[in-house]
Amino acid sequence: MNLFFQIKSLLTYRFKSRHRKGFGIHSPFVFHLLNYVIFEKNPFYAYAQIEQVRKSLLKDGTIVELTDFGTGNKSESSVANIASKSLESAKFGQLLFRLVNFFQPHNILELGTSLGVSTMYLAKPSSTAKVVTMEGSRSLCDIAERNFKNADVDNVEVVCGNINESLGDVVAKFSKLDFVYFDANHTREATLKYFELCLQKAHEDAIFVFDDIHYSAEMESAWNEIKKRSDVRLSIDLYHFGLVFFNTDLPKQHYIVAF
């Protein structure tokens, strides 16, 4: 992580973000999306339950082994430390919930389960949705599965193993992908590879959400390349998240929104 780069990219984002709650936006679709989904403030029923799981994880001193599939190195960390550093914030986890709740996708894929908090935000809006979540670390998969069981989340399938090796097979099993959340290997090469694989099963109403698009120069480069793709009709930069839509009825447009 390059702290100087992140500070620079945040300042650039704040300078360029012109739209808040639809001000200056002429697209009815984007205006509605901002006002009734992205900036929706009313709490949903599942928020409190999921955040209670987060609180318990932040107090869990259990030591688990982690494997870095990029280097092959193993390390140890407490569950609490992992939760404090890697879990999606409540703000953005709840945005995932609202997006799924609004668009009602049936087939959802998450790359990067971690401890399962973001997965629950994806799964809770609809018990009929099929959520497949992928995680490299066996110890994290086990913890996530326990969290799902304790929270009565039974529409999630956990695929444990190296995402670089297994993503192609996982994508091939879907008839189509309605919603994909990318939060795994934060490198340009991996992000673009994952995007291309998932694009094979995308359709006009599909939604792709990319985490940490300004985390590094590599991630920012990947995001810039993705939003320029001819398949992508609409992209929305929320700094932490990048949203991508493929509906050909939408004019090619990129928005930077203060969130």
Say what percent of the chain tops pLDDT 90.
82
3-state secondary structure 127-168: CCCEEEEEECCHHHHHHHHHHHHHCCCCCEEEEECCHHHHHH
Domain region containing 94: 3-46+89-256
The two tokens of residue 230 are 């001819």
Task: Tell whether 236 is covered by a domain.
Answer: yes
Distance of CA 111 to the CA centre of its chain: 8
pLDDT at 8: 77
Spell out where the chain has E strands: 63-67, 74-78, 107-111, 130-135, 156-160, 179-182, 207-211, 234-237, 241-245, 253-256
Give mean pLDDT, residues 160-180.
97
For the cut 90, the answer to whether the pLDDT of residue 94 exceeds it is yes
pLDDT at 55: 97
Task: Tell whether 67 is covered by a domain.
Answer: no
The two tokens of residue 198 are 């998932």
Q: CATH number, domain at 231?
A: 3.40.50.150
pLDDT at 12: 77
- 50 touches 124 (CB < 8 A): yes
The enclosing H or E element of 204 equals none
Radius of gyration of the chain (CA): 18
pLDDT band at 176 (very low <50, low <70, confident <90, very high): very high
Give mean pLDDT, residues 147-164.
96
180 or 28, greater pLDDT: 180
Task: Tell whether 25 is covered by a domain.
Answer: yes
Which amino acid would we find at residue 121?
A: Y
Task: Tell whether 29 is covered by a domain.
Answer: yes
6-40 pLDDT, tens digit per residue, is 777 777 777 677 655 545 677 889 989 998 999 99
Task: Tell whether 23 is covered by a domain.
Answer: yes
For the cut 60, the answer to whether the pLDDT of residue 71 exceeds it is no
How many domains would you assign to the chain?
1
pLDDT at 4: 74
DSSP 251: P
pLDDT at 150: 94
**Could you give the CA distance from residue 229 to residue 115 in angstroms, rounded to a whole number?**
32
Q: The pTM is what? A: 0.93
27 or 63, greater pLDDT: 63
Task: Tell whether 147 is covered by a domain.
Answer: yes
Task: Tell whether 9 is covered by a domain.
Answer: yes
Task: Tell whether 217 is covered by a domain.
Answer: yes
pLDDT at 22: 47
220-236 pLDDT, tens digit per residue, is 999 999 999 999 999 99
pLDDT at 1: 55
Nearest 5°: phi and psi at 35? -75, -35
Q: How many CB atoms lie within 10 A of CB 90?
A: 14
